[in-house]
Amino acid sequence: MKTDLTIESIDEASLRLKGVVKKTPLQYNKRLSNQYKAHVYLKREDLQDVRSYKIRGAYNLMSTLTLDEKKSGVVCASAGNHAQGVALSSSLLKIRSVIFMPSITPLQKINKVKHFGGRFITIKLVGQTYDEASHAAKEFCKKNHMVFVHPFDDLRTIAGQGTVGKEIYDQKTASLDYVLCPVGGGGLISGVSSYLKAKDSKVKIIAVEAEGAPTLFEALKNKKIVDLNKVDTFVDGTAVKTLGKIPFEIAITKVFKSILVAEGKVSTTMIELYQNEGIVTEPAGALSVAALEEIKGEIKGKHVVCIISGGNNDILRYPEIMERSLVYLGLKHYFLIEFAQKPGQLKKFVNKVLGPTDDIVRFEYMKKTSKERGPALIGIELQRKKDLKRLLDKMNKEGIRYTKLESSDPLYSYLI
């Protein structure tokens, strides 16, 4: 497989994309700069018309197809953002496309794909993950003799994504020290790193991945591509089981390291960006900012760019985002508590165990296992993380039988 991506091919892609994509701003962020004692800039790809960088790679690939290939039409698989890029490209280039998306794709993304593609697209919802949708898309593509528009494992796609790196280099006002880039299949980071490392070999490219989908992290650790057994689909924009072959060959020589970020930390970062800067990100879009905490010792006094890769987030997901954030911050906890089956037990719990600022946010009796005792699922929200010790001490003092549910426990996923 050809893996040589040249800086010239990225420059050529930039010319093709002129008038199609926005040159998104590279914004200095005062809050993050003060917090981490560094010079932090945000590359705002969430401000594209399709609200992510994916239009760059999709359009660059599709615009280079032969006339016969354009007549045959294209197929793609996507968790949402690449689909929007292909849809808009289909409309602009008047190319018929069939778009495969996981059945769990947020409705907001599906509706956006329809909006951008109009009469030129057909959507098929298949499988629970990107990889399942991708398998179905490739089978369909082969059967119908169409062109597959790969979201990350094609040099034309990667060159298009690499124009993000070109813009960062052109927009910078000082030397770059670090660029933090979210990673799923690896198209963005391979394009960005290829351009920036060619221009300045000293810049450090840091990959950022969700803990539940560490494709590049495992590949770098094992020095080969690793197929993940499963992925957490919360950070849906990067929920890929297998890194691209071309991105791996590029990343292994150009990426400084990969950082894993907890999904709860991503949720907290999304909330902070919205509350402080009014920036609406999707989970993948917040990954790079979420990783700053992990390297705060390294970046003091340095110039750091965080790529905000996308802002396609369904408002219906915010309850889950708030939930994950509170659990991550240690402010929300769940317990299975065995209450004796007699009057006054809940009152005793409230009066003798809960503190003045503790709040019961969920209460649900589970199936009784005996006549004497019955478990209840109780969710408690604390005002401060350190209040948990006091809560546990009081439950132990009162002789209350309980099980604290941890987010890593399979029972937690089943009950919460």
Catalytic residue numbers? 54, 309
- Spatial separation of the C-alpha atoms in residues 154 and 57, rounded to whole Å: 9
Question: Order of strands across the sheet with 332-340?
Answer: 359-365, 373-381, 332-340, 401-405
**Greatest CA separation for the chain:** 78
**Which residues, other chains included, contact 9 with Cβ-Cβ below 8 Å and sequence gap of 6+?**
155, 159, 162
Contact (CB, 8 A) for 261 and 328: no
Token pair of 380, please? 């408690």
Sign (positive/negative) of CA torsion 149, 152, 155, 158? positive
- Spatial separation of the C-alpha atoms in residues 394 and 49, rounded to whole Å: 54
8-state DSSP, 357: T
144 closest CA partner among 73, 87, 89, 95: 73
Measure CA 87 to chain center: 21
Helix (H, G, I), strand (E, B) or coil at 34: helix
Residue spans of alpha helices (H) in 145-244: 155-171, 187-199, 215-222
- Please classify residue 179 by burial: count the beta carbons closer than 10 Å to its beta carbon, then call 0-12 exposed, 13-18 middle and 19+ buried: buried
93 closest CA partner among 69, 109, 77, 111: 69
Residue spans of alpha helices (H) in 278-344: 283-290, 318-328
Helix (H, G, I), strand (E, B) or coil at 136: helix
Residue 265: enclosing H or E segment and its boundaries? helix 263-277
- Spatial separation of the C-alpha atoms in residues 68 and 218, rounded to whole Å: 40
Sign (positive/negative) of CA torsion 236, 161, 54, 328? positive
Could you count the other beta carbons within 10 Å of the beta carbon of residue 410? 7
